[in-house]
Amino acid sequence: MQSEPPFLAASDLTKTFGESAALRGVSFGAERGEIIAVTGPSGSGKSTLLLCLSGILLPTGGDVVFDGKALRTMNEAARSRLRRTEFGVLFQFGQLVPELTAVENVALPLLLSGNSRREATTTAGAWMDRLGVGELVARRPTQMSGGQAQRVALARSLVTGPKILFADEPTGALDRQSGEMVLTHMVDAAKSSGTSVVLVTHDRHVASFADREVVIEDGLATAHAH
């Protein structure tokens, strides 16, 4: 029997910035509902890998295929649409619009997809309740703690029901307790909705939340643990 190709597959990815090679031939695969930690030392290329996998950056060589579609063949608008509908992204800093309330921040991707304001805010509110930040709907990001803001950002990245969530050091700016809470919510939400997660981290403890670990060193995937 022929095995099904991975849900997200990258083959022989290279990415150079000027003279410097950030990725030097990385192959990667993720199955539906799988949580994968991408670890490695600073400057090893793990964030560049995530940016290439999520279509934010186009690799210099190789390609990323998601659900049978090659990202290289899509234009910028199509990749944006893909990130808005099929992917979720979560970063360490700066993803919430400081002037919008928490519920408006979460509702933003839904408004962009043509939902009415009422529908969007209702769904956004439900996600905020689910992640334990339901009481913060009317607050602005500057009126929240780092952990609360990151859970609101997590709600925004999950609100469209993405098939895969890309998270780049999502707890890097948080204290241990807040980080733990964000990770627990992220893993629970992903597991319950069957969302795959690609989690970039340099923290061994954070990586322990994943099903599998890919180690990147000097632009190469050197080991697969777990």
Partner 1 sequence: MHTEATGIRWAALVWLAARTGRTDRVRISATAVVSGVTTVFALAAVAVINIGGNDGPYSSDLLMQPGLRVGVALGLIVFVALLLVLTAQCARIGAPARDRRFATYRLAGATPYDVTRIAGVETALASGLGAALGALTFLIGKPLLNGLTTEFGSYTRERPLSRDTVVFEKVHGQLHLLPTDVHVAWWAVVVAVIGLTMIVGAVTQLAMRRVRIGPFGVARRASQRIPRKTPALMFVIGTVFLALFSPLRAALGMEADASRLLVVFVVLATVVTSVGLLWGTAALAQMIGQWAAARTSRASVLIAGRRLAASPFTASRTNSIILLVALVGGFIQGLRAYLMAVTSSAQDPFYATTMNFVNTALGVAVVLAAVGVLVNTGETIVTARQTLSGLVAGGVPRGVLRRGLLLEALLPLLPTIPLAALAGVLASRGVFGTEHGESLGTVAHERVVIHVVPIPWVQLAMLSVGTLLAAALMAWIALLFVNASTDPGELRTTA
117 is an interface residue for partner 1 by CB under 8 A? yes
Ramachandran sector of residue 141 (left: φ over 0; alpha: ψ -120 to 50; beta: rest) = alpha
* Closest listed residue to residue 196, CA positions, set 182, 208, 212: 212
81 is an interface residue for partner 1 by CB under 8 A? yes
CA atoms within 13 A on the CB side of 29: 7
* Shortest reach from residue 3's CB to partner 1, in Å: 31
CA atoms within 13 A on the CB side of 17: 8
Contact 63, 26 (CB under 8 A): no
**Residue of the chain from 21, 56, 74, 126 that contacts partner 1 (CB under 8 A):** 56
- Nearer Cβ to partner 1, position 106 or 210? 106
Identity of the residue numbered 202: H
- The length of the chain is 226
Q: Which residue has the tokens 């994968």?
A: 36
**Residue of the chain from 39, 44, 95, 178 that contacts partner 1 (CB under 8 A):** 95
**Residue of the chain from 12, 31, 99, 188 that contacts partner 1 (CB under 8 A):** 99
Q: Which of residues 195-224 bind partner 1 (CB under 8 A)?
A: none
Select the span of 21-29, 48-56, 176-184, 216-224 touching partner 1 (CB under 8 A).
48-56
57 is an interface residue for partner 1 by CB under 8 A? yes
* Closest listed residue to residue 28, CA positions, set 145, 200, 178: 200
86-122 burial: b if 16+ Cβ within 10 Å, else e: bbbbbbbeebbeeeebbbbbbbbbbeeeebeeeebbe
* Closest listed residue to residue 36, CA positions, set 7, 11, 79, 64: 7
Q: How many residues belong to the site for partner 1 (CB under 8 A)? A: 40
- Nearer Cβ to partner 1, position 14 or 211? 14
Distance between CA atoms of residues 191 and 196, nearest Å: 8
* Shortest reach from residue 173's CB to partner 1, in Å: 8
Distance between CA atoms of residues 224 and 203, nearest Å: 16
**Residue of the chain from 61, 98, 161, 194 that contacts partner 1 (CB under 8 A):** 98
**Residue of the chain from 112, 144, 187, 220 that contacts partner 1 (CB under 8 A):** 112
Select the span of 33-41, 102-110, 126-134, 212-220 touching partner 1 (CB under 8 A).
102-110
Residues that bind partner 1 (CB under 8 A): 47, 51, 54, 56-57, 76-77, 80-85, 87-89, 91-101, 104, 108-109, 111-112, 115-117, 120, 140, 156-157, 168
